[in-house]
Amino acid sequence: MMTEDYIYLDYAASTPVDPRVFDRMRECSAATCANPSSTHAAGRMSQDIIANAATQVADLLNIDPKTLIWTSGATESDNLAIAGGARYRAHRGKHIVTMRTEHKAVTDMFDTLAKEGFEVTWVDPGPTGLLDPAAFEAALRDDTQFASIMFVNNETGVIQDIEALGNICRQRDILFHVDAAQAVGKVRIDLGKLPVDLLSLTGHKFYGPKGIGALYIADRPGCHVEPILFGGGQQRRMRPGTLPTELVAGLGMTAEIAAGRIDDDLAHLRTLRHALWDGIRHIDGVTLNGDPNGFPGILNVSVDDIEGESLLLALEPLLVATGSACNSKSQEPSYVLRALGLTDLQAQSAIRFSVGRPTTMPEVEFAAGHYRAAIEKLRELAPEVVT
């Protein structure tokens, strides 16, 4: 996506809303302003709009629409799944497991539970960011009742083996949560086959509106979450509050559009990522961070002898990131990259390029050339080290 002022390459942070999604939201807004909790005719119309959206999201994931809980986004979905799931199982055991490379919405919730008396085991990934299922299984105990592993990493694009990890949990009757904010609508996910109990998603990561997400809760014995919000009977009392009909309708349309073009989108992203990496990989000291076979919409690279914030400024008009959007104001090096074994200097030099559906080949070619030029310029400006 290019304007006269910039080239947007930060799709992992957020995506533009598809015009068809806007149209659907406007259509619903014009049809009814009623509270979907109301029992009159206009309220029932809002209920029908929400039910239709649930079917659209359910079709994308191959689930029963009744297994969805609407939320304000992935952060709330993660919080509800983790706090609600762990507390529901607390009488059976208070040992919970996650990875050090998870999103802050997950790691901060685990820290909160630790203050409540839960015992957390933080599993380390391998140097490419992939979690060895054997290492994951070794971290589990008889009193383990909850585990959370991200589907696609938001900084590196690493894709975890969710099926293998889920099977391990299912064999031990451990609730298994997956943060799929970067995966839903971008890669094929069949929850009719994957052994996942709880899955978080959000609209704005795959061309839908901000402020709306969902939590999938598998319909199986022992799979439940305690509420973290109170104040009404909506959504089986697991997540009370008036539902934003237009936003829910927008997420439904987003899911319907994605279902029909995931394969084409992936092919497009693979072509762009290959061209971008091919255009910068010969730079002296450049390193690709994460599994090279990860999600093709994300390319995370570090380079020797360059400081990340300086590089970010030098890369304008490219809009890229030095880490995840939720942690972008922190001056600390990425904890995700540190967990992969990078030094502080290597992590601080990292740039995340993330391409999307509207990204073009000319934009990627310009980005590669501009990155090369920025590195060369910064190295020319750097003072010589006298030995």
Question: Which residues are identified as catalytic?
Answer: 326
- In the chain, the N- to C-terminal Cα span, in Å, equals 46
Axis crossing angle, helix 41-61 with helix 245-259, rounded to the nearest 10 = 30
Q: Is 344:382 a contact under the CB 8 Å cutoff?
A: no
Alpha-carbon gap, residue 171 to 221, rounded angstroms: 14
Give which of 7, 4, 3 is closest to 370, Cα–Cα: 7
Residues paired with 303 in a beta bridge: 286
Pairing of strands 351-354, 298-303: antiparallel
Alpha-carbon gap, residue 322 to 95, rounded angstroms: 33
Alpha-carbon gap, residue 185 to 204, rounded angstroms: 11
Sequence-separated (6 or more) residues with CB below 8 Å from residue 307: 348, 349
Alpha-carbon gap, residue 51 to 28, rounded angstroms: 13
Which residue type, as a one-letter code, is found at position 236? R
Burial class (CB in 10 A: 0-12, 13-18, 19+), 117: exposed
- The dihedral sign for the CA sequence 24, 152, 82, 66: positive
Q: What b-and-e string marks burial along 235-259, b requiring 16 or more CB atoms within 10 Å of the CB?
A: beebbeeebbbbbbbbbbbbbbbbe
Q: CB-side exposure of 239: number of CA atoms within 13 Å? A: 24
Alpha-carbon gap, residue 34 to 36, rounded angstroms: 6
Alpha-carbon gap, residue 8 to 117, rounded angstroms: 44
Write out the E strands in the chain: 7-8, 68-71, 95-99, 119-123, 144-148, 175-179, 198-202, 213-217, 286-288, 298-303, 318-319, 351-354
